Amino acid sequence: MTRILRCFLIASALCLLPVTAAWAWGALGHALVGELAQRHLNPKARAEVAKLLAGEPNPTLAGVASWADDLRNDDPERFKATARWHYINAKGGGCDFQLERDCPDGNCVVAAINTQLAILGDPNQSLEARRDALKFVVHFVGDEHQPLHAGNRTDSGGNRFQISLRTPIAPEAYARKSYVDGVMGTNLHSIWDYYILASGNLKLMDYAKRLNRQPWNPAQTATGTPLAWAEESCKLIDTQGIYPADNEHKMDHAYLDKFRPLAEARVHLAGERLAQLLNQTLGK
């Protein structure tokens, strides 16, 4: 193939990347959760993680943290089959998730964490299945702590709550055409996935170092299950006023600045809980 033709084909393929809402903390949020957890693995769990991730391009929890989202482009069939594992929605309007109603056939983030943890901890499973299970768990524990991944409204976790954000932050590649004259056409879900943490203006390792200075909270970490964590996320949506007052759809950095401490606290707690799950599952 000539070089020009090859370049043309690559450019065409890039144009075909889906222009859809993000599904989770953006790559930075997920990597932060992974990096924080990595720093708190016990020696046995650390060794197990290294064994499972051997051969990965970046064989760390941070390095594989967005794999489950990357399937969207890398393995669309598998992404489709696992898309509902990234969130849970309480259909009763409150925050009491009922798995029979809200998690049909085990297709929600709560069940996915439990199922993948069981695979991860089962020595009779193949190395490949356990490696993928680890990558899923790292991702989904992060997702579950993004409040809009465990809500009770009918707007797809804020994906259908449109926001125009005045910001100097360049959007992720897939969304660049929605960024005009310093105003980004986006939605509340993406504000939480990406813009709040991006407005911290820190690179991964600097951000992880800073968050890691905050004290770990064994009491909060030790309690609860993935189901309780979903309820905790859900309750934050109303108690913290995550939806803009009066259904205001215009936003500037005041919102990002106001909620950055909460987003960082959620990432921090997700990192703690992930480390604890992995120490329990791989570190004994």
Interface region with Zn ion, contact rule CB under 5 A, candidates 50-58, 74-82, 107-115, 136-144: 136-144
HEC readout, 119-151: HHCCCCCCHHHHHHHHHHHHHHHHHHCCHHHCC
Least distance (Å) between residue 267 CB and Zn ion? 14
Dihedral class, residue 185 (left if φ above 0, else alpha if ψ from -120 to 50, else beta): beta
Choose between 29 and 200: whose C-beta lies nearer to Zn ion: 29
Going by C-beta distance under 8 Å and a sequence separation of 6 or more, which residues neighbour residue 156? Answer: 21, 189
Least distance (Å) between residue 81 CB and Zn ion? 14
Tokens linked to 168:
């100097």
**85 forms part of the interface with Zn ion (CB under 5 A):** no
* The only residue of 24, 36, 64, 282 in contact with Zn ion, by rule CB under 5 A: 24
Least distance (Å) between residue 11 CB and Zn ion? 28
Least distance (Å) between residue 24 CB and Zn ion? 3
Least distance (Å) between residue 191 CB and Zn ion? 16
Tokens linked to 29:
């949020």
Q: Regarding beta strands 162-166 and 183-187, do their DSSP bridges make them parallel or antiparallel, or are they unpaired? A: antiparallel
**46 forms part of the interface with Zn ion (CB under 5 A):** no
Q: What residues numbered 190-249 form the site for Zn ion, per CB under 5 A?
A: none
Interface region with Zn ion, contact rule CB under 5 A, candidates 17-25, 102-110, 208-216, 252-260: 17-25
* The only residue of 102, 132, 143, 264 in contact with Zn ion, by rule CB under 5 A: 143
* The only residue of 40, 72, 84, 86 in contact with Zn ion, by rule CB under 5 A: 86
Least distance (Å) between residue 25 CB and Zn ion? 8
Choose between 112 and 256: whose C-beta lies nearer to Zn ion: 112
Nearest Cα to Cα of residue 238 among 90, 37, 135, 57: 90
* The only residue of 22, 23, 211, 259 in contact with Zn ion, by rule CB under 5 A: 23
CB 137 within 8 A of CB 117: yes
Q: Is 218 exposed, middle or buried (0-12, 13-18, 19+ CB in 10 A)?
A: exposed
Choose between 69 and 231: whose C-beta lies nearer to Zn ion: 69
> Cα–Cα distances in Å, from 49 out to 11, 58, 131, 205, 273?
36, 12, 9, 19, 16
- The whole-angstrom separation of Cα 56 and Cα 273 is 24
Binding site for Zn ion (CB under 5 A): 23-24, 69, 86, 143
